[in-house]
A and B are shown apart, each in its own frame.
Chain A
Amino acid sequence: MASSTDLDIVNVTKRFGSHAAVDDVSFSVAPGEFFSILGPSGCGKTTLMRMIAGFEHPTSGDIRIRGQSMIGVPANKRPVNMVFQSLALFPMMSVGENVAYGLTCRGVSRAEADERASRMLERVGLKGFGSRRVTALSGGQRQRVAIARCLVLEPTLVLLDEPLGALDLKLREHMKIELKQLQGTFNTTFAYITHDQSEALVMSDRIAVMNQGRFEQVGSPRELYHNPATPFVASFVGETNRLQGEAAAASNGTIAVRLPSGAVVQGQGKGAAKALAFVRPEAVALAQDPASLSNLPNRFEGRVSAVLFDGAASSLLIDTTGFEQPVRAVLPQAGPLAGIQVGAPVHVGWTADAMKVFAA
């Protein structure tokens, strides 16, 4: 039976003793998709990935690749290859031997394996590197060798376990783009795990946010960012201001949340006795004249407590009347407030749409 998905995870649970590292997780990955699993360390994403690779075995549930169950299939017989966090390049072999390793394991002749390995190296931009020692490569080059070593086997699925973690910031930014492009040219399905939301947002077609062994939400980067399904997703993906209070009246699709100080904010979503409200820093409008914010349902006044200058990503922390924590707001460097100083009075406001409310 032909399958329209490359990977199906069906109600997979993995227990270590009484602790469920992965708790009843299900999802599917379509061919050619860049799928990321995003979560804090210890959320079970590594265990999930190791089960797909075949290094761990699920306590219950099924893992299917192109419709074939992988239960009982050892790691060396699965059409899945993995790029390790440490990259795990074989230091005792040359770059070419590293890439040819999987082919020779399959019984491909030495000459052909070398030929295919050098063609693959050419495609990842490492032409003529075949006889180098892996220790003589730069971080980015090693990364590409690790990926080439998998891609040369034409696997159904490539698993990537935080492969950018060891790189410095500049190179990491660069490799994000390069990985995305590589995945595009080879049109191979990638499953990528990371704790870095920016990596996931930039590269992925779809992201699963994982927390305490469960998936909180699966969706496109935009969906996760703009319509988080749970408070965890709202606070884990992207920067946000988090407010705690209790739900008051609801009408016309908006809901009012009363903060402990008595101040009331208007947002969208569902609340109970206890409610959490989130607003993104870029949704917070700033003005020195309160009149220009008059059409916004949420309006407050405050004083600048810190200017966090970071070029285009600069922001302000504003001590706002009625709020326990300072409100963070993006400070447009092209706008009239660009030169604002600590201590200056300022008015903040946002729409009800921009504020997501969840029952806590």
Chain B
Amino acid sequence: MNRPSITWKLYIAAFYLFLFAPLFVVAIFAFNASPFPSPPWRGFTLEWFTGSGAVFGKPGVLVDPIWLESIGNSFKVAIPVALLAVLLGTVNAWVLERAEFRGKTFVAMMMLWPLVIPGVVLGISILAFFSRVTNGLEDWLQTDLDFLRPGLPLVVLGQLSFILTIATLIIAARLRKFDRALEEAAFDLGASRARVLRTVTLPFLSPALIGAGLVALLMSFENFNTTLMLVGSEAPLPIAMYGQMREGASPAINAVSLLLMLGVGGIASVFALTSKAER
């Protein structure tokens, strides 16, 4: 098995071609001077990034308020999701790794559960539940609680429901590797509990905290299924893209995708670097 056959090697090569072909065509056609993202090649242009719309009738991504707004919406969701996931994930990791109480295995099982629920079902269940809660509260308080209606805050909650599991697992895995003797040593050398946490435990956890934050950011940015069910009038990027793709999009969508790939590639390499530093 150590000397791979030529067929095997060819298969590997074909596989990687297959893997990258779709991304490659998306990137290429972002620069095609044509109103549609299809062959033939009509020349190189940056019109779909920065064009004002004078040439093809539709503006480029970086000047089109629709695209810019949806990118902004994605950030409005992703940043709170990432921050909450890291913060609450750390507390959850503590519960899993440090706390001792009856029913802990049950809680640990429950924390894994969101991973086996289809995203669409998570979306509708949260939609239905919050709608009932909001109706109840509004009748009771006689005020409007629009933030609990479909919209970005509800999308944050919906994405958090399963991203929190991922963040918890990443942080708990790191916490499990922590040698408790380090905390005892710091305490023994005269540090207060708060100082031990600040100078020893958190620095040890920091690669996992950064990693969990980045993963949460990426997952939030690309989540589609759960978001689709909870979104209101302000569409995050994947929802806006979906709408455009159903209608038959202009190459502006390729331009947006290319920017997304570059952004994701950047974040992924930061993540790869931090996880390498972890080892």
Instruction: List residues of chain A with CB under 8 Å of any chain B CB.
Output: 53-55, 74-77, 80-82, 84-86, 88-92, 101-102, 105-106, 149-150, 153
Contacts and interface: CB of A to CB of B under 8 A. Distances in A.
Nearest to B192: A76
Contact of B187 (A75, A91, A149, A153): A75
Given A86-B179, A88-B179, A90-B200, A76 B185 contact: no
B195 to A, nearest CB: 6
B277 to A, nearest CB: 11
Interface of B: 179, 181-182, 184-192, 195, 199-200, 203-204
Contacts of A91: 182, 204
Nearest to B200: A90
B184 A102 contact: no
A84 B181 CA distance: 7
A90 B182 contact: yes
Nearest to B179: A86
Given A53-B188, A88-B185, A102-B189, 15 more contacts: A75-B187, A75-B188, A76-B189, A84-B184, A84-B185, A85-B181, A88-B181, A90-B182, A92-B200, A92-B204, A101-B186, A101-B189, A105-B186, A105-B189, A153-B190
A102 B190 contact: yes
A86 B181 contact: yes
When A and B form their complex, which 3 residue pairs have the shortest distance between CB atoms, in order from nearest? A102-B189, A88-B185, A88-B181
B189 A81 contact: yes
A177 B186 CA distance: 27
30 contacts: A53-B188, A54-B188, A55-B184, A55-B188, A75-B184, A75-B187, A76-B191, A76-B192, A77-B190, A80-B188, A84-B181, A84-B184, A85-B181, A88-B181, A88-B182, A88-B185, A89-B185, A90-B182, A90-B185, A90-B186, A90-B199, A91-B182, A92-B200, A92-B203, A92-B204, A101-B186, A101-B191, A105-B186, A105-B189, A105-B195
A9 B182 CA distance: 26
A91 B187 CA distance: 16
B41 to A, nearest CB: 53
Of A80, A101, A106, the most chain B CB neighbours within 10 A belong to A101
Contacts, number: 62
Given A88-B181, A90-B182, A82 B188 contact: yes
A348 B184 CA distance: 54
B190 A76 contact: yes
A84 B186 CA distance: 11
A77 to B, nearest CB: 8
Contacts of A74: 187
B204 A82 contact: no
Contact of B190 (A85, A89, A106): A106
A102 B192 CA distance: 11
Of B182, B185, B189, B190, the most chain A CB neighbours within 10 A belong to B189
A83 to B, nearest CB: 9
Contacts of B186: 90, 101, 105
A330 B137 CA distance: 90
Contacts of B179: 86, 88
Nearest to A78: B188
Contacts of A149: 189
Contacts of A76: 187-192
Contacts of B181: 84-86, 88
Contacts of B185: 82, 84, 88-90
A92 B187 CA distance: 16
A247 B188 CA distance: 52
Contacts of A101: 186, 189, 191, 199
A76 B191 CA distance: 6
A82 B188 CA distance: 7
Contacts of B190: 76-77, 102, 105-106, 153
A54 B185 CA distance: 11
B53 to A, nearest CB: 53
A105 B191 CA distance: 5
Contacts of B187: 74-76
Nearest to A152: B189
Contacts of B189: 76, 81, 101-102, 105, 149-150, 153
Contacts of B182: 88, 90-91
Nearest to B202: A92
Nearest to B204: A92
Of A53, A75, A105, the most chain B CB neighbours within 10 A belong to A105
Contacts of A153: 189-190
Nearest to B196: A76
Nearest to A79: B190
A81 B195 CA distance: 17
A90 B181 CA distance: 10
A53 B190 CA distance: 11
Contacts of A75: 184, 187-188
A165 B58 CA distance: 73
Of A55, A74, A77, A92, the most chain B CB neighbours within 10 A belong to A92
A54 B200 CA distance: 19
A81 B188 contact: yes
A78 B91 CA distance: 30
Nearest to B195: A105
A74 B195 CA distance: 15
Contacts of A105: 186, 189-192, 195
A225 B188 CA distance: 35
A90 B184 CA distance: 11
Contacts of B191: 76, 101-102, 105
A298 B187 CA distance: 58
Contacts of B188: 53-55, 75-76, 80-82
Contacts of B199: 90, 101
